[in-house]
Every structure is written in structure tokens, then in C-alpha cells.
Structure 1
């Protein structure tokens, strides 16, 4: 029946098991598209006899074993995509035998051996992706190939030199050879690559200086050679990289001073020069880099002198690392840099007070200020000695004290007061013991004996939570809106408890901990009150509702420009990063979805319900034979479909689904998708078969996509979403990596637009 079958398309069907051997014997087959399933087994040698086979897309499955070595001999392969499987053995030779191969993707497997020489001689090849394997040996020589556009062989065991013949591929835009064992110098022939935008060579053993011929790569956007053995000064001729957004030279042996010509890089968003023996002062020209917003790292050098006032012009900068230098003077210039989220000035010779606006950063990371014996911390009565953050910092001025000593009368009163204090302490301890004994029998616990004054007003404004004031219902409870006065709107969530009350003291502590968390992209908990069967949690009301409302519910649909969607994506990522990295212990949200992303009047996102899933999960101790799955269908990571999510990887997956909703304006489980297919499967399927962003993106954005730079950014964000929704949680990026990728996408757009 299938003897004339040409296209086998079974992608995105959640298939398991092996492909029947009879399929591999159908001589008329031209395409085998079974990607994004859970298929297993080995590829049979019979597939090497399929002479008409052009496209084999098996990515994101669990195939294993050795790829048949005669695969390319009889066929006219155009596309071969085996990404993210468990293949072992070597890459078959002669894959380009038919002179038609365009795409060769075998990344994220366990392949060994060297890269066949015919790969370098394949004049039809467009894209080569072999990253994250165990490949070894030297890179092949590359013949002239005007079609070759993209090469990623990172994270392998490749050794030897970078072949100068790569310069024959004049239309290469991306080269990533990072995390290998490459030696020798960067070949000057790479300067022939006029279209080169990304050159990533970090974590190798490259030596020598930067070849001045690279200045001919005038479209360079990202240059990363950190963690090598490179030396010499940075040639000023590289100022021709006018569109550069990322420059990373860290952990090499570059010498000289910080080049003043770096100020010519007007579109630079990240500058990493740490871990080199750069000397001299930080040049005032650093202030010209006003587009820099992600990171400035000048740590572990030999820099001297004070911070130039011009440094304060970098008002968008988020991460600043000046640690391990010999810098002097005060930190006053940093006081106006309100965008900073991370600062490290440790192990220098700074003097004077830590600026008031940096006190929060000092309190959260005191070690980032240590090693400066002459800096001090002002005593601020508003927060008392906690402003010091750590006993390692001396106060600049102490609280008022009596320097003349005490009189005998004062000493007598002090002694009397101390005695009375001791009596009260003993009384308090006895009372506490009796109270704790009583608490075992009296579990009516709340934040106060009754609701606070604010919550009383809320209850009054909502007529004791009358149904007329309901604005939403979710898995964790019902939400009401309370208006106390102009611009004084609150949202109060009523949580239902059905479990063991012995956890209530712990619940109070957990909610108090959640209330202490502060971040611009997290909804701030204002107040709470716990009863036996329910609890009230109070938040500020967000004027634009939830992202779910804006994307799917409001009619007619509000205009949502791409720049707004991007800002929502980035802000949400920042909020999740804070929960994962800056909370101790880290908080896994476990229910990231558009309904839990609230938008203020400026469309700035705020994540809601963080910590609530864990709170409600723990409050129940009733025995059960089933396992409760926390989360919402469509957003739950595959590995947690039948068990509770505990790792941060589950949040990353859910975040990827949110990204796809922002791009497509489709729901996670949209009726337009095929049966048993979610938004991730649908989007990956469409992209794999067409690589046309207009087939995926929300139709209201298509006019914006006429701008090629905007289209490039949308595609980059789509790629981030695909990485976040990898089936294997180990292959998903961290939220910190997601932010870096989103910022890279933004910097590329800005560098193109100027």
C-alpha cells in the first residue's frame, strides 16, 4: 500500500517506540519528517538504499546507535537534521556525495571521531551545526563556498589550528568554535569574511595577537575570545567595527591600557575586559559608551587612579565589575547609576562612604565591597545598623553618644534599669513557654489577632468580599478588587485551605518571607491574614490586568507592538532570574503563565503568585495515593506531567511557552493546533518546515516585520523560546542565560538601526 509513498510526515505526535523496518525499505521516499516525538531505536542500514531520499529530520527524539556509514552514497541528501538524540559513533563520510547537501545538523548527540573532510569540500552547504558532541581531531580544510552561512562546532574536543581556508567562505555570518582545544593563532584570513557578524572562540588555547586584518569584518556584531592565551595590545584599527554590540576579551594576556578608541563603539552593550594585565587609569572616554547596558567588566587587571566622573554617564548599565585592581578615590560617581543591579568593587583601595543608592546592593552582597579597608558606611537612623550590611564595614559616623562619661546617678539608674530588664526577660521566657504549650491546643493563628487596619478597609470596600468585586479566579484562589481612594486600588486573593492546620505557624513564616522579597518585576505582597480555612493576601492592583487578558480576552484586541512584547519578555525573565538566583533558598514558581504576569500602567510586567504553589502544596498532609501536579496544562514541562515540579528548569519551560504566546498571540493549547499538539510543538513544526517567521508570528505584527531588523529580533526571541522548551531539562538555558540571549537580540537590532 505504501510502495509509492514520497513524504512521511509524523512530526509532533508524541510517538514512541521504533519506526517499523518496512518504512525504511520504501524506495520512493523523499522526506522522513518525524521530529519532536519520543521515538527510539537505531537507524537500519536499509536506509542507505533510499536513492531518492532528500530530507531526514529526526531531531528531538531518542534515537541511538551508530548512524549508517553509507548514508550519503546512494541518496541526494539536501537536509540532514539529527539534533538532540543519542547517536554514537562517527559522522558518516560522503554525506555531500550528491552535491546537494545544504543543512547538516547533528548537534547535541554523543558523536565521536573527526569531522569528515568532505564536509569542508561541500560547496552547496549552507549550515553546519555539530555543537555539543565529543568530536575530536582537527577541523577539515574548507573549499570556496559562497553559500556557507553558519557554522557552530562548539563544545567538542576539536584540536589543532583554525584552518586559514575558512577565509574562502566569504558569506559566513557566524562562526562558533568555543569550548574546544584549538591552538595556534587566529588566522588573518578570517578578515576576508566581509559578512561576518559573530565570531565566538572562547575557552580554547589560542595564542598570539588579534590580527589587524579582522578590521575588514566591518559588520562584526559579537566578538568573544575570552579564556585563551592571546596577548598584545588591542589594535586601534578594530574601530572599524562600528556596529559592535558585544566585545569579550576576558582572561587573556592583553597588555597596555584600556583603549580610548573603544568610545567609537557607540552601539556596544557589553564590554568584558577582566582578567588581563591592563594597566593605567580608566579613561574618561568610557563615558561615551552610553549605549552599554548589560555589563562592564574591568576586573582583575592592574588599573590605578580614581573612577572618572564620566563613568557616571552610563545610566543604563546593569552589571559593573571593577574588583581586584588598584583603584583609589571615592565611589561617589556610582551614586547616579540607578540602573545597577550588580556591583563588585572588592579588593581595591577605595575610600569614603558607600553611596546611599548602593546600600541595597551592599546589603545583598557585602563581599562585593570587601577588601577596601578605607570605605565606610553612613549610619542612617531610618534603618539603623542594618544599613551597614556587614560588620566588616566601619560606620562613617556613629549615632549620637555621650562622650563625657556617666555620672554616679546615671550609673545607678542604669543598674536599676538592667535589673528590671532581667526580670522582664525571665517573665517573658516563662510566658513564652506557657504560650507554646497552649498553642498545641489553640491553632487559630493569623498575622494578627484580627485583620490589620488596611485589610479591614479592604473588607469594608469589598463588602466582605462580595462576589460583585471578583476580577479573577485561578488555581490558587479568587481575586477581588478593592478601591480605597484615587490611585489606591488593591487586589486581594482569597486562598482556600483544606489541609493540616499544624503547618500554619510555618505558613505564616513563609508568607512573611515572601513579603520581604522586593523586585521591580515581582508583585509586592502588602499584607496577609490567615484563618483556619482560608487566607487573604493583599497586593497592589495592576492597571492593565494580566498578560493573558491583553493577549486573549480583551475585545477588540488591544494593539501590542513588538517593542512592548519584548519588554514584557525581558522583565518577566528578570523577575524569574531574581527568584532563581537571589532568593535563599531559590524559589521555583511552578506556575508561570500569562495569567500570573500582571501589567502595570506602563505595561511593565510583574510576576504574581511566586511561592504560593509551594505554600499550598505544603499545607496539606492528607494521605493520598496520587501525586498532585502543580501548574497549568500547556505550561507544565514534559518531565513533570505526572509529578510535581521542583527544579528551576520547569519554570524555564513555562517561560518559553509564554514567549511563544507573546510572539504568536495563540494560547498554549489553541484549538487551531493539531490534536495532542501544544504551542511549542506547533511552532517548532512550522519553523522546521518553512523557516518563515510570518507563518508563526501574530498577524498584527506582520507590518512591523517589514523592518528586517525587527524581524531578526523576533526570530532571535523565537529561538530563545525553542531552547527554553527543550524536552530534556538539561538542555534548557538558565534564566540568567535567557536574559543574556534576549539582551543580545536587542543589541543586534539597535546596532543595525543605529
Structure 2
């Protein structure tokens, strides 16, 4: 048996110092190279690589720099290891690398050498590394002079990335150097948005010296360490250039590929192994290997070199023949079956006349990068606040994640399908000075904010009026540390002060009152008047602003608060209104009783020509008319009125249930002429009541579009409410996506495209075609119904809202509605649904059509389909996302286009989303692409196999 060699990890590099102005941005190659602990803003150029190394000033605001002990400064140790930055304070300390390209792959390398920098000779030292909010690896330092490298290849989701050292209680974290190198997205296809690679080894077989190969020989500045055992291997080499093949996925450099090893005994194998290195979150990591080969000898015609690769006795490659002077690789796309030790054997095939060879190998374990950081707008705002006020505390890294490292003095919300949001910020009594930053206004999800008892100066910024989610802006604590909340009691003519231990408790204290906002700026040095935006909210009753102990604020008094006579005026107006309403109510009740006695129907006919009907009690108020005047529009129903007894007959006593929603159950029924209908009956336990019933009835009487469900009639018979619709025989789109409709047959891609287009046309009509226009607010697969021809129609308008297009495309609400997984995050934070909220929900439906998966996936952990798809589409392989039930029967360009439409529709900012008109136009293009694809496929098959007989009743033959 051939001798075996252990795969050692060497971590040495050479550099000499020069002087250059510090560079905190990527250089012309996109490189960022940081010498950690280098004092001041100095930098130098490495003589060998010509790479410029900058000090870490500007990359981090924590830690202290030290020099290693003089006994460790030796010729073999490069200048980069002469100093370190140590972080004795804080659980997490981070470096921020900026000006990156979001979505690009980067190689990140951190280097460490202890060198007894602290004079304590205290080893071992162990701490964790994180990339952003994802765990990277453990750093274990056991030797004072042996450098340790940690390297990863990841996709960077934003234009910056943070590398964080986390104190785990096993010694003070420190770092010697930090490198970042951009990589083309085609390289290392195993890396994607949710998965990175942690390097175990990168070895160059053959060189007999100890020189590693890196930049400029490797344009990506990967470090290839030499590995040669003269007792077991022969070295072969060439001075000729070894070229990379077209679309090379790894681009091993020529300098590495110019050397290789073969066994001394030509009949022997090449054997080596590596041991698994446990991680805290993965005690037995799976590994990915990349074997690099190139034939360096110009073999005669009667000679051949072919070999097998075996890993732990399992065939890895069934016969590899290296090409002369071309670099090729045999690699794994997924981790191997987990073992404590990985034994590699490369042996010649029976047909080979030459022994096996190998030029280089790379070995990586897989790390997860699936965790998503805090909302980028929140991060930008809080970072600006941190910088302005020089807040130290533990404000390093991501504000909310990981949860155990979340910043002090703030709390976050953690939604399944959206990034974490900052919801509470308490900066009371921490010595803030200067003006109030307008960046507070960018914390859109914040609910509690406390800036009291500081040294803030200047005027109050109007930006604070933009915090629509803010419910409490509390003003500091009493001497016992209890939060103080004013509870104004107008009836009592005074103010009661209540004490609460937590912000949540304070929130509960005001929950019973109208959800107005309370903000307290007491105990500062503010001046000027209240901004108009805040003043309006005070006057409208949405804000209770406290600003005591600011001696220079609101010197004219009245400009800061509503007019003193407002309450009296309100009394004078309210009392007559109450009396009028009471009289009207009594008269209405008497009128209804009389009409019920005469058995007059709830809706009375106005004429026989159009069968229009008008309710006696229900009216709906719309916004301004075209000329600016306001009017009441009575509910007009151009449909048949059913009694409850008639509904019982139509549905055979509600025998067959078609479905169920928030309003109630939907039953199958037949009219007298045999027309099949769907009857939606409101149940007593329904969370939708008269209002939603009237809204949907009103809407369905005035919208007419081929892609909107039509209403045939209604029932309002005492306590019973029901709507009668046209029957949609094929049920909901959601059932078909899940394969539960049409006898379990899945929709073809063309059918899905047509359904998407028709649904989009229905929504476009709601937004632009009907008058006044509507926001649906509950777009989802179960609210898109299909008829016998699989034509799509939007249904369920009980949550829809009218908006006035002259005043924008949004409406203000005080209640969040919709279905989890489909709800627009911007609507969640502002409580203002817009037409773009429907666009967002429709984008989720598009992703369901593409993937065949639900809006929220729950295996193994809950994740939004948006993030699930984004993570996989980042790999550039649409097949990893598309619904396998379509069996590849689609035009891939059209599929990519639909995925891109969905991506744009689900953009976090509504400003970046298309309109439904844009979506309709793009989906029409996709349908044309699919038609062209099917025509070409049919023509090609006819040419190759003769005329294809037409087939009906199922998918087309392939």
C-alpha cells in the first residue's frame, strides 16, 4: 500500500514595508488590505506582491493596537505580523469594509499571530469570527509565532460587509490582518446567497521550495501553499503556460498548474487525507473538494494517462484524462458524506500507461450565510445616529442580530418573512449633545423613543412627525428607575402620572385610550417652535408632545399647541351632533320596524329597466368628486335579492362547501334555471361584519371586468348576510399550484403565464379602470379563481379600499389587514396601503407560480418565498427554483423574465416597484416568448420525427 501523507495547513506570507497614504477604500483591483494595529493612518506596499496595506484606522472604532514582543520579530515573520489590534472590551467588535458591489462574491481572509503582544504569555486563546450576522469560524491560537489564517468565500448582500470578532470567554480577541478580494460570480459555483465556503486547505503539489504562490501570479490573490514529499512523490513541471479552459469555474493560476506530482513507483497510487475540524454549530462538517489537473508532459501516441479519484473508498470520478497544458478540475457540488477523516486515493485505470498525477487541491467546508441582517434603512439610520452622538456601549455590528448580541438600549421585532426592525430606542440620560438628528425620522418601524434628560440643543426636527409607527415618546425615569407616562384625563381636567417598570408596561397603560402618540423631549436645551408636521398631529389628536424643562422652547406659547378654545368648540359642536344623531337613530328604527311589518324588502327597486336597487339605510362616502365637492354615493346593487330560505333551497341546505374565508363558508348552489352559483354566507363567528359585507356588495355592483368575479345577487335577511357569485368550477389558483385541482394535474407554464396575465389585468382595472379606483389589499392565490377554461378572476373584495387618485395612490388606515407572507412590509410600517401594496402581493403570487411553493415555507425553518427564491436565484441557476412538476417544459428566458418581474414587484421600497400596467405589459411579452418557444419546439420535432399528431386533454408530448 502506498505511503500516506497528512495534509498540513501552512499559513506564512512575506511582505516588506514602505510608506503610502492610508487607503480605506478598495484599490483599482477592488482589493481591501488592512494591517490591523498599524498605528495612525500609515500604510505600506509589500515588495513582493506590490499590494498596498493600510492601517485599520477608519475600519473599526474599538480595540487597542499593540506591537508583538521583540523576540518574535524575525526575518521569517513578515511586517504584517509585527502589530495587532486587541479587543479587551465588549462582546463583539467589528471591522466594516465598504464600497463593495452588492450580490458579488468575495474572498475574505483574516490573519492572526499572537507574538505575546500583551506580555502575558497567555495561551491558548479562542474566539469566534462572524461575517455580518452569520457565524464564520472559530479562531484557536495555540502557538505564539505560528500565524493562523481563516478564509471564506461568500456572496456579499449589500455594499458593505462587517467582519466581527466575538469574545466567547476563552481569551481576548485580536487580529493581525484583514483582506478582501472580489471574485467573478461564475467562480466557485458552490457559493450562493445562503451558502459560503470556509477554506480548510489550498495546496500546490510539486514545488520543492517553501514559497507560496499568490498575487500577482494569482490575480485573485488566493494563497497556494506548497506541498511535496520527496520520499513518496516525483515532481514534474513545465515552463510552458498552462491555460484555463473556457468558462473555467476556478481559474487556477498558471504558476500553480506548472507543477504536479506522480508516485515514485509508477504502479502506486497518490494517497493523502485530511481530518474533519469540528465547529461549534457543526461538530462534523461536510467538505467540498476541488482537484486541479493538467497534463504537463507531451505524451506519445501510444501512451495515455487516466485515473480514478476515490474518497473513503467511494468513486468520485469515473475516469479523468488531463488535457495537455490546459487547467481542468474535478469537483464536488455538495458536501461529501460526513466522516471524521477523508481518505483520498488517485489510482491509474486499467487502460492507462502512465501513473496518476495531481497539480493542486482545494478543500472547503460549507458555512451558512442564510441569516438576513436588520432592515438596511434602519441600519443606515442607527449608524448615523451612532456616529453623530459617538455612542459607544456595545454598538458594534448589526443592531438586532444575532439576538444574543443585539445592541443595548434598543429592541427589535423579528418577523419570519422580513428583516428585523428596530422598534424601541431608549437614549435617555446618556449625555447626548447637539441637535436632534433627522435620522431618527428614518427609523420607520420604531414604536418607543426616549431622548429625555440629555443636552440636546437646537430646534425640534419635523422629521419626527414621519414616525408613523411611534406610539410612545416617553420622557425619562423617576429616581427609582420607573418609566413615567402622562395619562391626560380631559374629563377630570387634570393629568395623572403613572409609573411603569418597562416600556411595554407603559404601552399597555395607554392602550385603552385612543392610540395617539406621546413624545417627551423634557430635560434638554431645545429652542424654537414646534414644527408644522408635529403641530398638525397635535391638533388632530394623534400626538401628545411633552417638552418641559427646555427653557428656550416655544417662547410664544400658543404656536406649540392647539388653540385653548378647541375643547370648548368641540363641546359646542359635538353636543348638537349627538342630539341630531340620536333623533335620526330613533326615526330610523321606527321606520325599519314599520317596513319590516309590511314585509318591504331591505333593498327596493328604483326602476324596471336596469333592475338597480338601493338600500334604505346603508350609504358609503367616497372622496372628493372631480370638481372638488364631496358627495354621498348610495349603495346601488344591480343584482337579485335572495331571502335566506331561497339560499337554503339553492344550496340544498348548504350541503356542499366549496371553501372558507374570513367572511364565512362558500357553498355550491343551483338557481331555478340550472345555473351553478357560489354562495358566500357570513357566519356569526366571522371576523368580517356588516362593513365588509357592504363594501364587497358595493364594489361588486360597480366593477365589471372579465378578470373580476361577478356577483349575481345578495341576501340581507335579518341577521343573515350572503353574496351569490358566478360559479368558478376549477376553484382557487392556490389549489392548482399545490396540485390539488383538476384531478391533481399541475398547471403548465403557459397556463400559469396566462393566469398571471389575466390576474394582473384584473388588478390593473381596479387601480386604473374603475371609478373611483380601488386597492384590493388581499391579493393571494386563494383569491384568484379559475373557471372551466382556466380563466382567472380576482375575488374577495371585502378588504378593498377606495382611494382618490388626485391625492396619490394610498389610503390611511388604523388596521393592518391581509395575509401573512403577502403583506407589503412598507404598508406594515406606515399603515398606508397603496396600489404598490397590491403589486407586492402579486409578486408573491408570481413566485408561487414559478416555484410551486407557498408564500411561507416551513421546512426546516419558516422562510418567506421571496427570500427563499432570492437566495437560490443568486446562484444563476433557474432550475433550482422552478417547479419541477413542469418537467422543463418552458422557455427559460421567459421564466427568468417572470422571476425578475416578481423580484421587482417585491422590492422593499414601493418606489422601486412597477405599476400593474407595467406588469401587464411585461407578462404579455413573457407569454409571447412562450408561444414562440412552443412553436419552435413543435417545428423542430416535426422536422426530426415527422408530423406530430395533435393531443387533447393533457400536456403536450415532448
Which bin holds the TM-score, normalised by the shorter protein? 0.3 to 0.5
Q: Structure 1 or 2: larger helix share?
A: 1
Larger Rg computed on CA atoms: 2
TM-score, normalised via structure 1 length: 0.41
**Larger RCO (CA under 8 A, 6+ residues apart):** 2
TM-score, normalised via structure 2 length: 0.33
